[in-house]
Amino acid sequence: MVDTAKIKGQLEVMLDEVIVELERIAHYDKTTGDWVAKPDGGEVGEADENVEADVVEEWNERRAIVAQLETRFNNIKRALKKIEGGTFGTCEISGEPIEEDRLAANPAARTCKAHMNDEGQLPL
Ligand SMILES: [Zn+2]
């Protein structure tokens, strides 16, 4: 039996942590519900090509990090909603219960172990 009260507490801590990380490099668009990477606040106006290439690279990296954090953010929010709705701990692909050790490692997991590699294919 999954202790959802305990997991809810864990998820809330995880959500706070991911929001702190996101707020450092992104801002939340309330209209779309998306996190948008902030442009780098660093030195602007350097015409040096190498600097520009670095800036573009940093920007791409930043967006990749935001995308990862945003997935985590969405998964945590979804897991909290599932607890409210009483569907927590069920694999979104097979409908089977998610293994307890998988939930212990990642309370925001959306699938059982058999389908963990397909989790990325699920709609957001
Ligand atoms: Zn499954």
Q: Calculate how far, in angstroms, residue 68's C-alpha sits from the geometric centre of ligand 1.
A: 22
pLDDT in tens, 6-15: 999 999 999 9
Whole-number Cα distances in Å, 47 to 54, 55, 56? 12, 11, 13
Q: For residue 72, tell me if it sits in a domain.
A: yes
Q: The domain containing residue 49 runs over which residues? A: 4-88
Q: For residue 93, tell me if it sits in a domain.
A: no
Q: Calculate how far, in angstroms, residue 99's C-alpha sits from the geometric centre of ligand 1.
A: 10
Q: What are phi and psi for residue 100, nearest 5 degrees? A: -65, -35
Q: For residue 44, tell me if it sits in a domain.
A: yes
* Count of the separate structural domains present in the chain: 1
Answer left, alpha or beta for residue 38, where phi above 0 means left and psi between -120 and 50 means alpha: beta
pLDDT in tens, 18-77: 999 999 999 999 999 899 998 765 544 556 677 788 888 888 999 999 999 999 999 999
